[in-house]
Structure 1
Amino acid sequence: MTSHAAALLSAPRAALTPGTLDTPAPADDEVLVRVRAVAVNPVDWVVQGTSRITYRWLRTPAVLGSDVAGEVVAVGAAVTRFRVGQRVLGLATGTDRGRDPLREGAFQEYTTLLERLTAPTPDSLSDEEAAVFPLGLSTAACALFQSPHLGLRMPGDPAPGTARGVVVIWGGSTSVGMNAIQLARAAGYDVVTTASARNAATVRDLGADAVVDHRSPSAVAELVAAVGGRPVVGAVALGAGSTDACIDVLTRTGGDRLAMASTPVALDALVCRRRLFPAMLPVFARIGLGTLRSTLHARRRGIRANFVWGSSLRDDEMGPRLWGEVVPRLLAEGSLRPMPAPLVVGDSLDAVQGALDRQRAGVSAQKIVVRL
């Protein structure tokens, strides 16, 4: 059996350190990928810093990371869509409950990806560009298309003979927001969104027909005005404070579905604490109470609100269709662009911990990427 290098989380809250793992053979429905680029998401440093509470099922040592781009080096017996040597991008789900974080984590030289969560990388994209897609794109798709959330038609579905609906996205310049704008537009919906003045032109170029500054005290009223009486098919809330704002927009426009993709309180200050206890108590109390309050607030307004779990498409019918049909077609057409733009911060696994730290410190309209 061969082995390969990995950036290992050796214990909860530990820094990532170099390690060596046995290189696995792919299961029947998997491809084994030589990883060439990985991207970093906020969930990576959240898992690293709070998994004793938020991901209690995760056992260490573990390999973190969700966003993978590379080439196929082996295929499982049931795989039909990929061949050895083919460049791919895909969603690694190793830190999810019931998965294997050593076989399926992104931050290592070789990882296994489920065929149904993998797409071919077109020649027009570099590995660094391809790596920005998987988790942001999957989360956006879950918010827009899964029935517990907005339940919209997917790109390629026939459009009804009624007026185009409007999707409200609070947080259009986030990774999820940029992908949600593109997917919603590809499915035939109009989009109104928020972004800072610095990023407004970028999200408008992705297809948003109206962009409001999220820091404006009249942001909700401006979004309502931008809707202009068109039917609102739902809202996606991204970022602290976005849920209540979206509830207000939906109440004033007649929308009744809300997909929530952020906690009401950010966890970055807690992650950098030397000890979780007792600092975690007021933070998680605020998260729990804030979520309950917002959910009850939405229910009283007749709005169905649910939290989005980006990798939940692994186990439903939408995942294979998204990754097997929609994503390859949109990439080939050029109607799905790699956004946020990759910001490459290193060229080896040794750079991954610094990449997590930089992401936690804050980036705007960019995605941290490490080459391998």
Structure 2
Amino acid sequence: MYFQTLDDKKQCVGIYKEGKIYFDSMPEDLRRTWAFTGSIKDKEVQFAQIYANGKSLEEACPEEFKKELADSNKKFLACIKSFETSKIDPRDHCIFDMIPYRFLMQFCEIRDKVTRHVFENHEKPRNYELLSESYKLLHKIKYQQLNVNSADCRDLQLSSKSRKKVADLIQRRYVSYNLFGAATGRLTTHPKSFPILTVRKDFRRLLKPNNDWFLQLDYNSADVRTFINLAGQPQPDGDVHEWNAKNLFNGKYTREEAKVKFFAWLFNPDSNLVENKKYNRKTVLDKWYQNGEIFSPYKRKIKVEERKALSYLVQSTTNDRILDRAIEIDALLEGRKSYIAFFIHDEVAIDFAQEDKDLLPKIKEIFEYGGFKSNISVGRDYYNLREL
């Protein structure tokens, strides 16, 4: 039942099970492992790292195995360091072909022990299915090559500081997300990947599509629409903030003024500026916050103090909706040239091929499921986008 994989690229497959490593014929009854890798196709396989809420192997390791794990890691990291010295990129090679067999066995054995410990001592998360499918999608994104180049970006390199930044970004050819990096479930990125969530907006010009253009899917006022959905109210047609300016504030404020005032109320529990049937914080919290924990529509459970509960609920629900919709879009794109390139907060970016234009209506339908209106834009880089 328990097994470990020896690579995370589809073309390199080695399986450890019950004291033996298989490189050719694969053993049967593979059901539980530490983490997802590209070679795992069986949808029934479960991952201990998700049970452990994204903890690293070291963090999840019980005290009695820590020394064994430390010894294994020391040897393994020494091998990795030698690869770095030799300028061998593990993303481009099957590193397990270059590590001594006895080290592989030690590495797999301790990994297997920690995996068993986690499954035996942790409950399955209520939102396991969404986490598992998100985990797989983010893994796929990690192994897609970004097209990062400075063509037509001379003005971004006028100062030595900017030139240095551009040179650094050009070396970062992939996006690696951490599904468990924030308490609310919001995505974060790992240190060595392209900093897609934090990079200065004009530097997004460096990002070019590998296909014909970028397609950006972006909800119109995602957090506001999430709140409305949590309150069980119908979604307004058109722009939410324009609707609020007219119907909530009776036309006293411009769209931008209404937006500022609304958010000043939404996440400030002491504010009474807005309170009606559509926007009732108490109704939402009574339904989704109990005994110091939020329970979101996507089965995410987060322990949080009441003052922060609404903020956590809205942010986590918005994030999970984005992932849920992206997973369905990814399934639609299976076998096509177009693919999901990355996420930026509430946006989904698709590296889009012109030949897949027949899918545009269906992509929009999937993304807007439940009445969530969106803005769809396209561009030859990820800064100069025009709305369709």
The alignment's TM-score, normalised by the length of structure 1, stands at: 0.27
User: Structure with the greater relative contact order (CA < 8 A, sep ≥ 6): 1 or 2?
Assistant: 1
The alignment's TM-score, normalised by the length of structure 2, stands at: 0.26
Q: Give the number of the structure whose residues are more often strand, by fraction.
A: 1
